[in-house]
Chain A
Amino acid sequence: MAEPLLSVENLSIAFGGLKVINDVSFDLEQGGRLALIGPNGAGKTTIFNLLSGVYRQDTGHIRLGGEVIDDVPSRKRIGYGMARSFQNIRLMPHLSVVENVMMGQHARPDRPGRLLAPLSIFGRSRARAEAEALLAEMGVEVAPGQDVSTLPYGIRKKIELVRALAARPRLLLLDEPAAGLNETETGELMAFLDRISDSGVTLLVVEHDMALVRSLCDRAVVLNFGQKIYDGSTADVQKDPLVLEAYLGPRHAGESAKEAENVA
């Protein structure tokens, strides 16, 4: 079997004595789609923050494309081909749509002449043209010069995705991409993500919407209180007794999977 794109080994981190992530390991193969699920406070976003370098793990290793990136500072991890979205949209509010997307290109290795390139006005117009093209290609139909803060939630969510894509990542971390979207928007998002995945980008998704998880991902890792309790196919996840217990509490663990689906 080929080397997995992302490999997480025995990851742990504690905040003030509380083990938020406890000895979690999983692999994600190139081009795969993995869902990271679990009840509130299970540590899903913390895993994302560890992967992107916002936090430094206490123990364990993170490997990306075979390289250990434990000591790579957060700023440089995007250069290893990892981009992410955020649970609450984090677009720069005073930048226009296209400028936000251009920020996604900032660290791309194909931008020549690291030190002085940012000073070139030509570099900027080229970057702008490319960002506009990417927006159009992804079907974001707003004026590129518009302020992002005035746009509706669903469109901003899309722009954040396009910004992450502008970095041309190998691995895309999506933190609750469907949260706050209505049914139509969720459908659009699904098509959008399918297209991204088909172009060869590996997806790691934190999501609550089980329907979306099942139709998007074939595999899920379930966390509860910072520990991995399930790693397997999304089809079987709601039959697993440990998962049922995590979501419903021990009393209900024996009840039917049908009910579990309703709750999740």
Chain B
Amino acid sequence: MSGYWSGIITLLSINVVFAYGIYLAVATGQLNLGGAGFQALGAYAAAWLCAEQGWPIWATLGASAVVAGGIGFAFAFPILRLKGVYLVLGTFAFAEVVAGVIINSDALGGAMGLPVPEFIDWNVPAIAAVCVALFCFYLMSTRLGLAVRAVHDDDVVCDLLGVDVRLVRVALFALGAALAGFAGGLYAHAYTYVEVQTFNASLSIYVLLYVLLGGAQTAWGPLAGAAFFTLLPELLRNTLPAMKSGLYALFGAEGSMSPPDESWRFVALGVVTVLMMVFRSEGLITRTMVERISHPFRSTRKEAL
């Protein structure tokens, strides 16, 4: 496989795992804007254990999930008392504190970052992404998954129906943190270098947007969101200059165009976000849509009644 494609598959796989991590929190109605912090925890755990302790890759990857998940669990208990705006700010602040601690820690290389001696090729992240996606689909199809979605809609009624709202939220937040950390571990080994600047506020924002724009009602959402926003720029990079030069040729003009600047890609993401919030705030893929596709006959027949 060419370097180009293996690079894309690696990035896509890491983003999918990361998006599922944030999705599990969002599915219970908790916006987690601290994704970069949990990913950084996982990435640095894997990098440090690999470089300093010489752990094998399978152990460092496992440790990245355990470390981020454990810290996420400890963090979730106090922070999930908060709601709405407070929770968003709390998770955001958490990511900044993680970055602030890492940058001041000599053992973790400070602002210089840490090299990771062990390299993994595209196949490991790809397999991991498939497993994580299957796990999330399974989770959301169980009765626990149903309770998760119900808690998202109305936590007061869920409490009266006997759902332990707090337990559901803490469990899903911690599990999501573990997945985000796992994505960080994959990142560390795939790029063989971690530096804290990678895990900035923008990263937290992007991954939350992947999830919300993909749709948080079903497990299809984060998959669609992460895939769309990882692959779209690649698509644009190749097709846009071709289209543009084609247009120029049509008008008899000579000219080539440089691929679109990174900035345009983010403008596009911003425009899509704003339009989605106006016209389809529940995200690209909704439960009704999945239902209609999987049971086309049943729903049309009954609707006629």
Residues of A within 8 A of B (CB): 52-54, 74-79, 84, 86, 90, 92-96, 99, 102-104, 106-107, 117-121, 123-124, 127, 141-143, 145-147, 163, 167
Residue contacts A-B, CB under 8 angstroms, 17 given = A54-B160, A75-B160, A78-B162, A92-B157, A95-B149, A99-B146, A102-B146, A103-B158, A103-B163, A106-B162, A107-B162, A118-B142, A118-B143, A118-B147, A124-B146, A141-B305, A145-B299
In the complex, A53 Cα to B160 Cα: how many Å? 8
Are A118 and B157 in touch, CB under 8 angstroms? no
Partner of A94, one of B138, B161, B287, B305: B287
Given A90-B154, A145-B291, A145-B298, does the pair A120, B162 have CB atoms closer than 8 Å? no
Q: Which of B152-194 contact A (CB under 8 A)?
A: 152-154, 156-165
Q: What chain A residues lie within 8 Å of B298 (beta carbons)?
A: 143, 145
Interface centre among B146, B152, B288 (most CB of A within 10 A): B146
Q: What chain A residues lie within 8 Å of B146 (beta carbons)?
A: 95, 99, 102-103, 124
Q: What chain A residues lie within 8 Å of B161 (beta carbons)?
A: 78, 103-104, 106-107, 163, 167
B302 at the A interface (CB under 8 A): yes
Q: How large is the interface on B (under 10, 10 to 19, 20 to 34, 35 or more residues)?
A: 35 or more
Are B217 and A94 in touch, CB under 8 angstroms? yes
B257 to chain A, nearest CB (A): 43
11 further A-B pairs in the complex, CB-CB below 8 A; given A52-B160, A75-B162, A92-B149: A75-B163, A92-B154, A94-B287, A95-B149, A95-B150, A95-B153, A103-B158, A103-B161, A121-B138, A124-B143, A146-B303
In the complex, A52 Cα to B157 Cα: how many Å? 11
Q: What chain A residues lie within 8 Å of B287 (beta carbons)?
A: 94-96, 147
In the complex, A95 Cα to B154 Cα: how many Å? 11
Are B162 and A76 in touch, CB under 8 angstroms? yes
B240 to chain A, nearest CB (A): 36
Partner of B142, one of A54, A103, A120, A141: A120
Q: What chain B residues lie within 8 Å of A117 (beta carbons)?
A: 143
B145 to chain A, nearest CB (A): 8
B81 at the A interface (CB under 8 A): no
Q: What chain A residues lie within 8 Å of B291 (beta carbons)?
A: 96, 145
In the complex, A74 Cα to B253 Cα: how many Å? 74
In the complex, A55 Cα to B174 Cα: how many Å? 30
Residues of B within 8 A of A (CB): 138-139, 141-144, 146-147, 149-150, 152-154, 156-165, 217, 282, 286-288, 291, 295, 298-299, 302-303, 305
Are B149 and A94 in touch, CB under 8 angstroms? yes
Q: How many A-B residue pairs have CB under 8 A?
A: 104
In the complex, A75 Cα to B160 Cα: how many Å? 5
Are A106 and B143 in touch, CB under 8 angstroms? yes
In the complex, A94 Cα to B295 Cα: how many Å? 18
Q: What chain B residues lie within 8 Å of A121 (beta carbons)?
A: 138, 141-142
In the complex, A167 Cα to B157 Cα: how many Å? 13
A136 to chain B, nearest CB (A): 12
Are B162 and A119 in touch, CB under 8 angstroms? no
Taking chain B's interface residues, is the majority helix, strand, or loop, or is none over half, making it mixed? helix
A106 to chain B, nearest CB (A): 5
Q: What chain B residues lie within 8 Å of A84 (beta carbons)?
A: 160
In the complex, A238 Cα to B138 Cα: how many Å? 58
In the complex, A75 Cα to B165 Cα: how many Å? 9
Q: What chain A residues lie within 8 Å of B153 (beta carbons)?
A: 92-95
A25 to chain B, nearest CB (A): 24
Are B299 and A143 in touch, CB under 8 angstroms? yes
Closest to A49 in B: B160
Are A124 and B141 in touch, CB under 8 angstroms? yes
Q: What chain B residues lie within 8 Å of A52 (beta carbons)?
A: 160
Q: What chain A residues lie within 8 Å of B143 (beta carbons)?
A: 102, 106, 117-120, 123-124, 127
In the complex, A164 Cα to B136 Cα: how many Å? 29
Given A74-B159, A141-B305, A146-B302, does the pair A118, B144 have CB atoms closer than 8 Å? yes
Q: What chain B residues lie within 8 Å of A118 (beta carbons)?
A: 142-144, 147
In the complex, A126 Cα to B144 Cα: how many Å? 14
Given A121-B142, A124-B143, A143-B299, does the pair A103, B160 have CB atoms closer than 8 Å? no
Interface centre among A76, A99, A106 (most CB of B within 10 A): A106
